[in-house]
A and B are shown apart, each in its own frame.
Chain A
Amino acid sequence: MNGTVIATAGLRKAYGAVRAVDGIDLDVRAGDVYGFLGANGSGKTTTVRMLLGLVLPTSGTVEVLGRPIPKAGREVLPRVGALIEGPAAYPHLSASANLSLMDAAGPGGARRGRRQRIAEVLDQVGLGGVGKRQVRGFSLGMRQRLGLAGALLRRPDLLILDEPTNGLDPQGIHEIRTLLLDLNRTGTTVFLSSHLLAEIEQLATRVGVLDRGRMVLQDDLATLTAPTGATVVRTPDPARAVRELGDRVLSADGERLVVRGSEPAEVNAVLVGAGVPVSGLALDRPTLEDVVLAAAAGSGDRVPVGTTVSGAAA
């Protein structure tokens, strides 16, 4: 697979005067782990729903796997696995009965081998031992795993996952992260919508940031967090270090100095040569949080008096 997996052009969704999604151009390429970031209410969920044909755009176009949505949904969506705003299942049925019904409800899930596929995905998400149990008794984390199993059932080319680690404990989060990276390595494109920066930073190769319905940023994670050309130095004697380095010091904050120069070894040599103790040394890179906070205006669910809401209704 190569080329573009998700492409939207001028995608817009208005609910009355409220513009939930305001002209976004998504560009997700084959093999990406795409992190779709945004505060609560920034329009992430509405966008995800438009990608899957659940919400119909006010204007603009959506293409998934090269075909228009919702028009070619019947052809494209069987190749897409999705987790949309939390898992859902029929509580009185077992985990495997739920998967079986969902699989039979649409095209592209052959009855032959279905039992085998269900056993495999349940095993993959760590529910192999409870496949026969009613979902009624499942914990939130188990339901989340079941939802993920449903998304993986037809070995999709594209996974669209909305907050996939919601409700999981730290071990569970680690397990799911490993699973997603494994799938990505074998060719699955992953579109990950989340408001958890740390999660995106650990998984994503590309990042898009949504702020009040607008895309404010879309780039490779490596580019966004590329070294700034400065070096971060930690020293127990910052005063002497500043004296030695002179105007190369860009900023000083306690024992932490940011020094011009993209060669930590060179900075280290200067300081050690002058007898200044150095306790830490690293290339200066912005964190994803720095990048996002610089690009996005503020929390989506914070509405001060006197502002007009233009990007509510997630």
Chain B
Amino acid sequence: MIGVELRKLFRRPRTWITIALLNALPVLVAVLLKVTDLAPRPGEGPAFLSAVLTNGTLYPLAALAIVLPLFLPIAVAVVAGDAVAGEAQGGTLRYLLARPAGRTRLLVAKLVAVIAFVLVTVVIVAAVGYVVGTALFEVQSLGATTGISGTSLTPEQVAGRTLLSIGYITVSMLGVAAFALFFSTLTDSPQLATLGALAVLIGSSLLFTLDAASDIAPYLPTRYWLSFVDFFREPILWRNITRGLGLQAVYVVVLLGAAWANFTTKDVTS
């Protein structure tokens, strides 16, 4: 069943178009930086962007930081929102369940396919970022690189921590995926499920900037998304990273539980 869902996802042209579009913005930014040589000052603009002019190997992280706030969650919400509601709208859900695929199995397979999509997308963004970064910018071949807090990291450390960041960003997206997947079991319209997840996301981002909402800020799904930059402090600042992982885990467990409870007991009339 999981194989079936992966085949469906990755044989669908839309999946690859989404990934291609997702890569367009970081590539455009890189080209603009190269042409104008105008990097944002440290502390301004997307994370890592100030540092890439002197070290192209940091560009995968800059690329991820560029797509993280909006593009990546939109793509995740589209794919996860489509998971069940898309099958319902296309009429294939009734055939899958009468096959019988098993409702729990189908939901698990959909979840695995969404996670695979997030991982593949994040890895491709990082890989394209690496290719673009090393082709356009200087690469410090020897000695230490500057970390985010002025400390020095070896190229091996940068590589290792980039991999950790890829993992962390993937997990950060699971909360959005869980919201979209839950909404996807509630409606037969994939657009509605996607918009629902985006509404949560935008609401969360907005509340995060509001002082009056500071009491609930630690529980907002987007709260710790950018904490992956803490991997590049020396030593690694684990506090927010572990909180971010824990928070995503809670959202995923609660929402998937709700999705499962709803989907396994509902009448499929689509």
Q: Which A residues have a C-beta under 8 Å from some C-beta of B?
A: 49, 52-56, 73-74, 77-78, 80, 82, 84-93, 97, 101-102, 104-107, 150
Task: Tell me if A54 and B94 are in contact (CB < 8 A).
Answer: yes
**6 residue pairs A–B, Cβ–Cβ below 8 Å:** A54-B268, A84-B94, A86-B91, A90-B90, A93-B11, A105-B96
User: Which of these, B3, B92, B269, contacts A88 with CB under 8 Å?
Assistant: B92
Task: Tell me if B268 and A105 are in contact (CB < 8 A).
Answer: no
In this complex, what residue of B is CB-closest to A98? Answer: B92
Interfacial chain A residues near B96, Cβ < 8 Å: 102, 105-106
A105-B98 contact in complex given A55-B269, A56-B265, A90-B90, C-beta closer than 8 Å? no
B:75-122 near A, CB below 8 Å: 90-92, 94-102
In this complex, what residue of B is CB-closest to A160? Answer: B98
B:1-21 near A, CB below 8 Å: 1, 3-4, 7-8, 11-13
B211 on the A face (CB < 8 A)? no
Task: Tell me if B268 and A49 are in contact (CB < 8 A).
Answer: yes
Task: Tell me if B269 and A105 are in contact (CB < 8 A).
Answer: no
Chain A interface, >50% SS class: loop
Task: Tell me if B267 and A77 are in contact (CB < 8 A).
Answer: no
A73-B95 contact in complex given A101-B7, A105-B4, C-beta closer than 8 Å? no
| Bound CA–CA A91/B7 (angstroms) | 14
Task: Tell me if A106 and B102 are in contact (CB < 8 A).
Answer: yes
In this complex, what residue of B is CB-closest to A107? Answer: B100
B150 to chain A minimum Cβ distance, whole angstroms, is 51
| Bound CA–CA A26/B81 (angstroms) | 38
Task: Tell me if A105 and B101 are in contact (CB < 8 A).
Answer: yes
B:120-155 near A, CB below 8 Å: none
Closest 6 CB pairs of A and B: A88-B91, A106-B99, A54-B268, A55-B267, A77-B100, A52-B98
In addition to A77-B99, A84-B95, 9 A-B residue pairs with Cβ atoms within 8 Å of each other are A52-B97, A73-B100, A74-B100, A77-B98, A86-B91, A88-B95, A93-B11, A102-B95, A106-B1
| Bound CA–CA A106/B109 (angstroms) | 12
Interfacial chain B residues near A88, Cβ < 8 Å: 90-92, 94-95
| Bound CA–CA A242/B155 (angstroms) | 111
Task: Tell me if B98 and A54 are in contact (CB < 8 A).
Answer: yes
Q: Which B residues have a C-beta under 8 Å from some C-beta of A?
A: 1, 3-4, 7-8, 11-13, 90-92, 94-102, 265, 267-269
A106-B8 contact in complex given A55-B269, A89-B92, A150-B95, C-beta closer than 8 Å? no
| Bound CA–CA A49/B266 (angstroms) | 12
User: Which of these, A92, A97, A104, A150, contacts B3 with CB under 8 Å?
Assistant: A104
In this complex, what residue of B is CB-closest to A56? Answer: B267
In this complex, what residue of B is CB-closest to A46? Answer: B269
Task: Tell me if B91 and A54 are in contact (CB < 8 A).
Answer: no
| Bound CA–CA A49/B101 (angstroms) | 15
| Bound CA–CA A74/B95 (angstroms) | 14
Task: Tell me if B13 and A92 are in contact (CB < 8 A).
Answer: yes
| Bound CA–CA A117/B52 (angstroms) | 56
User: Which of these, B13, B98, B267, contacts A82 with CB under 8 Å?
Assistant: B98
A49-B95 contact in complex given A90-B90, A101-B7, A104-B4, C-beta closer than 8 Å? no
In this complex, what residue of A is CB-closest to B12? Answer: A92
User: Which of these, B7, B13, B91, B101, contacts A106 with CB under 8 Å?
Assistant: B101
B255 to chain A minimum Cβ distance, whole angstroms, is 23
Task: Tell me if A53 and B98 are in contact (CB < 8 A).
Answer: yes
B265 to chain A minimum Cβ distance, whole angstroms, is 7
A54-B97 contact in complex given A90-B8, A93-B11, A105-B1, C-beta closer than 8 Å? yes
Interfacial chain A residues near B95, Cβ < 8 Å: 82, 84, 88, 102, 150
A107 to chain B minimum Cβ distance, whole angstroms, is 8
| Bound CA–CA A102/B268 (angstroms) | 18
Interfacial chain A residues near B98, Cβ < 8 Å: 52-54, 77, 80, 82, 84
A40 to chain B minimum Cβ distance, whole angstroms, is 15
Interfacial chain A residues near B91, Cβ < 8 Å: 85-88
A50 to chain B minimum Cβ distance, whole angstroms, is 9
| Bound CA–CA A101/B265 (angstroms) | 25
B129 to chain A minimum Cβ distance, whole angstroms, is 29
| Bound CA–CA A91/B11 (angstroms) | 12
| Bound CA–CA A150/B98 (angstroms) | 11
Task: Tell me if A106 and B100 are in contact (CB < 8 A).
Answer: yes
Interfacial chain A residues near B90, Cβ < 8 Å: 88, 90-91
A66 to chain B minimum Cβ distance, whole angstroms, is 17
A79 to chain B minimum Cβ distance, whole angstroms, is 11
| Bound CA–CA A86/B4 (angstroms) | 23
| Bound CA–CA A77/B12 (angstroms) | 28
| Bound CA–CA A80/B1 (angstroms) | 19
B224 to chain A minimum Cβ distance, whole angstroms, is 37
| Bound CA–CA A56/B97 (angstroms) | 13
Interfacial chain B residues near A80, Cβ < 8 Å: 98
In this complex, what residue of B is CB-closest to A80? Answer: B98
Interfacial chain A residues near B265, Cβ < 8 Å: 56
